[in-house]
Structure 1
Amino acid sequence: MTDDQVDHNDVLAALRAATSTRHATLDRAMPLAQPEPSLQAYRDHLLLLRAWLAPLESWLARFRDGPQDPAVLPPVTRLPVLDDDLAHDAMPRGGTEVTPVDTTSLPDDPAYRWGICYVIEGSQLGGAVMYRQLAERLAPHPLRYLGSRPPGPRWQQFLAALRAHVRTEREVAAACEGARRSFDDLLARAKGPQS
């Protein structure tokens, strides 16, 4: 199944199929994908993520339904930890400014937001893997954004809520569209100039 083919029977399977090619491309394009990543690469990684995540977190905070319903999923703000890592004494200064994501054209559809949140939540799983690979190499930087909280329990909670709230063919299609857009926004920034 390709990025354009969607299985509407299981939203998680549909999201994975809808984003698999983009996910693989992004994994190779991110600053930390180089063979021996440095703190400069981590800085550039965080700057890229900040340009993507800050506008999305601000936009998502406007809603109280779908994945932003606190009764469905407790709210989490990731920017303070990211900013702490950027400000850490061990972090090299500089880096390339990255254009923030434009959220003005994003639909208010809760199913679409489930797709965006699928990418945000899933990125935390990848961060935990990177933390295990890089913690010793990039010490004394604590890499808190990658490893400050275990993502597994929240991921399982997110998946259960996703499956409970995104069930119709239209909702699954909207979630897939939101996830693809999130990956495309990240890819556009990852392919830009990196210092």
Structure 2
Amino acid sequence: MNHHHDTAAEQDVLAALRAATATRHERLDNGLPLAGAQPGLEDYASHLRLVRDWLTPLQAWLAGYADGPAAFLPPRERLALIAADLDEPGMPAPVAPQPAARWPDGASAAYRWGVCYVIEGAQLGGSVLHKRLSERLAPHPLRYLRGDVEGPGPRWRAFMQSLRGAVRTPEEVAEACAGARAAFDSILQLGLRPAS
């Protein structure tokens, strides 16, 4: 039952998510610890701690649901990769996690699709950073930035396909945008590099 208007709606959800988060995305990209001209291991450690403090409560919250994105996306051991990277020789001393944000109980599947759009999208950014930094920060393995052996592309494509199938009505698209904005806001609130 694939009417013509479905295709328009499917394209809309990604366009809507991109538009809803564009300014936050830019602020995040420019403010990340690795955004400086010559990032070092100290910056990578700050980046990992930021992502850890952001992802820890998010993953615990998302784990409480079996529907929506949870039904489509195999879990990823991102926090284990972050912990392993922070344990590498030459990394700065551990810093305790920041107090965790609270995520809404009973959030709609569409809202959670929006949150996962930001989490999954972060992996795409990670692979770009990996290319840029792997020589510079060698011999650190940069496990978190490297991610999957096959790169983030296949998972991202599967994610987009599932998202388009799941988030279709204008109400669902609006919910997804709210979730995506909340996910960006929560990492922005954890504090970024001051704009130089």
TM-score by length of 1: 0.88
**In 2, Cα distance between the equivalents of 1:144 and 1:33?**
18
**Aligned twin of 1:4:** none
1:120-135 to 2 correspondences below 5 Å: 120-135=119-134
1:108-147 to 2 correspondences below 5 Å: 108-147=107-146
User: What's the offset of the Cα at 1:89?
Assistant: 1.5
Q: Which sits farther off after the overlay, 181-190 or 159-168?
A: 181-190
**In 1, Cα distance between the equivalents of 2:51 and 2:193?**
13
Gaps of at least 5 residues in structure 1 are 1-6
1:15 to 1:80, Cα distance in 2 relative to 1, 3 A: same
How many residue pairs are counted as aligned between the two chains? 184
**Aligned twin of 2:38:** 36
1:1-195 to 2 correspondences below 5 Å: 10-69=12-71, 72-95=72-95, 97=96, 99-105=98-104, 107-149=106-148, 150-191=151-192
1:141-194 superposed Cα distances (whole Å, 9 cap, x missing partner): 00000003110000000000000000001100000000001111111113388x
Gaps of at least 5 residues in structure 2 are 1-7
**In 1, Cα distance between the equivalents of 2:69 and 2:18?**
18
User: What's the offset of the Cα at 1:108?
Assistant: 1.9
Identical residues among aligned pairs (%): 52
1:85-134 superposed Cα distances (whole Å, 9 cap, x missing partner): 01111322255x55243224355211000000000000000000000000
**In 1, Cα distance between the equivalents of 2:105 and 2:182?**
9
**In 1, Cα distance between the equivalents of 2:39 and 2:46?**
11
**In 1, Cα distance between the equivalents of 2:108 and 2:77?**
21
**Aligned twin of 1:3:** none
* Structure 1 runs, 4 residues or longer, greater than 6 Å off: none
**In 2, Cα distance between the equivalents of 1:66 and 1:148?**
23
